[in-house]
Amino acid sequence: MKKHDVIGTYKLPQAVRYCCKCTVSNQRPRIGFDAQGVCSACNFAQYKREKIDWEERERELQALCDRFRKTNGEYDVIVPCSGGKDGGFVAHQLKYRYGMHPLTVTWAPLKPTEIGRRNLDAFIRAGFDHVLGTPNGAVARQLTRLATQYVGDPFQPFIYGQTNFPLSMAVQHKVSLIMYGENGEVEYGGDMKNAERPTRDIQDHDTHYFSGLPPEFWIEHGISRSDLFPFMAPRYESILKNKTEIHFLGYYKFWDPQENYYYCREHTGFVSNTERSEGTYSKYASLDDCIDGYHYYLGFIKFGIGRATSDAAHEIRDGKITRDEGVALVRRYDGEFPKKYYQDFLDYCGITDEQFQEIVDSWRSDHLWQQTPEGWRLRHAVWYPEHLQGQG
Ligand SMILES: [Zn+2]
């Protein structure tokens, strides 16, 4: 299989550098580093703590809710929520603290886990109207296989639905406000143009979420337009006519995923997993899909950034662990192969172990990976002596 041009596709810097405050490197697409070697997510975390007037933001949130609240019984806000801690926090706050009438919506996981479904049921029982969007299972499988092969990300079809289904529900139910949790681009490193804004632009969806490939891309691989329909956004004119606005609660409220976990444990019946997720040390994030381990694993292959790197980086920024602790966790867990659902994943995609390993190797860029007699070795890691201080 031909090697992919990872640097060109994701516009990555050739020289790998690590943030001197957290564990992330400059290989995360769209992240920025300042002259002191601090990443944009760490700078944003500091800015959030020191500069933002949260009382003023609270008034802005009240005003936003007043602008959209309906009193005729109809829904007035769409909250995308898998039943996890973040969407659960958003929905519960909006409904029970701000008197909104949310319609919560979930795009079905490709292959749901038991714990994910259990948490979604508990969330609905805790007091929410809910719609589940489930695409044709045969098409979802076909798209997952194609996306794994061509984009190196089995999650691509899920991300289409996750991004576009709330828009479809907003248009269909004539609800103009969609409220997400955090803006991943500013919180975790990415395009900072929205750092000072509560909203996101629908025009950015292709670049920020779809790696530049919208659902229509797959037509040339034999998927019909009608099969792709549930994965697509509504027509742009209907989004505009509906006066649709996408907001992030993380702009209005200090966003702390661990606090959301405690909140949902108390209010929406959320439970964490009994064991840590493979590839990291955490038990309460991204639990819904048997496939997600392969999304994170391929991210590790492409960017050298695994699930533990991201989890540790968030927790360092939130002041929960030190950088040294984070580095140790990355060393221990990052890049661990997700074995638990491997056969399920292969069966779901209809590929063999050899085919998957070939796909994996096609995404190993020479600037990150080196072949040694003992197997593949990362040329750079945050725990290698030369990077311990975050130097390049
Ligand atoms: Zn950082």
Q: Which residue has the higher pLDDT, 198 or 241?
A: 241
Distance 164 CA to ligand 1 centre (A): 30
Distance 381 CA to ligand 1 centre (A): 15
Distance 308 CA to ligand 1 centre (A): 14
pLDDT at position 184, please?
A: 79
pLDDT at position 176, please?
A: 97
Distance 33 CA to ligand 1 centre (A): 8
In this prediction, residue 208 has a pLDDT band, given cuts at 50, 70 and 90, of: low
- Listed in sequence order, the residues at least 6 apart from 272 whose beta carbon sits closer than 8 Å to its beta carbon are 261, 265, 283, 284, 287
Distance 387 CA to ligand 1 centre (A): 13
Distance 112 CA to ligand 1 centre (A): 32
Q: In angstroms, rounded to a whole number, what is the distance separating the alpha carbons of residues 235 and 219? A: 18
Distance 39 CA to ligand 1 centre (A): 4
Distance 102 CA to ligand 1 centre (A): 35
Distance 185 CA to ligand 1 centre (A): 13
In this prediction, residue 75 has a pLDDT band, given cuts at 50, 70 and 90, of: very high
Distance 382 CA to ligand 1 centre (A): 12
Q: In angstroms, rounded to a whole number, what is the distance separating the alpha carbons of residues 237 and 235? A: 5
pLDDT at position 198, please?
A: 85
Distance 258 CA to ligand 1 centre (A): 18
Q: Which residue has the higher pLDDT, 206 or 190?
A: 190
In this prediction, residue 299 has a pLDDT band, given cuts at 50, 70 and 90, of: very high
Q: What is the mean pLDDT of residues 97-119?
A: 94
Amino acid at residue number 166: P
81-95, 112-126, 193-207: least confidently modelled range: 193-207
Percentage of residues of the chain with pLDDT beyond 70: 97
Is pLDDT above 80 for 334?
A: yes
Q: In angstroms, rounded to a whole number, what is the distance separating the alpha carbons of residues 260 and 266? A: 10
Distance 24 CA to ligand 1 centre (A): 6
pLDDT at position 130, please?
A: 98
- 3-class SS letters over 177-225: EEEECCCHHHHCCCCHHHCCCCECCHHHHHHHHCCCCCHHHHHHHCCCH
Quote the pTM value.
Answer: 0.91
Q: What is the mean pLDDT of residues 298-327?
A: 95
Q: What is the mean pLDDT of residues 130-149?
A: 96
pLDDT at position 95, please?
A: 97
Distance 193 CA to ligand 1 centre (A): 18
Distance 288 CA to ligand 1 centre (A): 27
pLDDT in tens, 261-298: 999 999 999 988 888 889 999 877 777 888 999 999 99
In this prediction, residue 391 has a pLDDT band, given cuts at 50, 70 and 90, of: low
pLDDT at position 386, please?
A: 83
Q: Report the SS3 class of residue 99.
A: coil
Distance 22 CA to ligand 1 centre (A): 4
Is pLDDT above 70 for 206?
A: no
